[in-house]
Amino acid sequence: MNIKKLIGKRIQEIRKQKKITQEYLAELIVIETPSISNIETGKYFPSAENLDKILEVLEIEPSELFLCEYNDNQKTLIDIMTKLMNKSKKLTELMYKFYLSVKNNF
């Protein structure tokens, strides 16, 4: 499973735990409902700005998105994350904030 699917699945799990519909989440972060579906199915990765809004609405820290099982090996995950961060300065900054929030846990 790739990182987009893993993150999307985790967003969906948390959204459902909090009893928030896709429609309501979309409304709160000001995007179209099909975009939420595409994020949750791993078709698209949210922009750094939208990811930040999703985290805020779901009231979670970035690290909570990574509390899931995965089958890809570490090199594959690093390659995927590197490609995504190379595409977006905001995502790189967000991932750095995530790193700072969890670095003492390792």
Q: What is the mean pLDDT of each run of 10 residues along the chain (106 residues)?
A: 84 95 96 96 92 94 74 70 84 85 74
Element (H, E) at 78: helix 74-87
**Which pTM does this prediction carry?**
0.65
Domain 3-105 class in CATH: mainly alpha
Cα distances (angstroms) measured from residue 12 to each of 6, 30, 103: 10, 17, 26
Spatial distance between the Cα atoms of 93 and 42, rounded to a whole number of angstroms: 22
Domain boundaries, the chain: 3-105
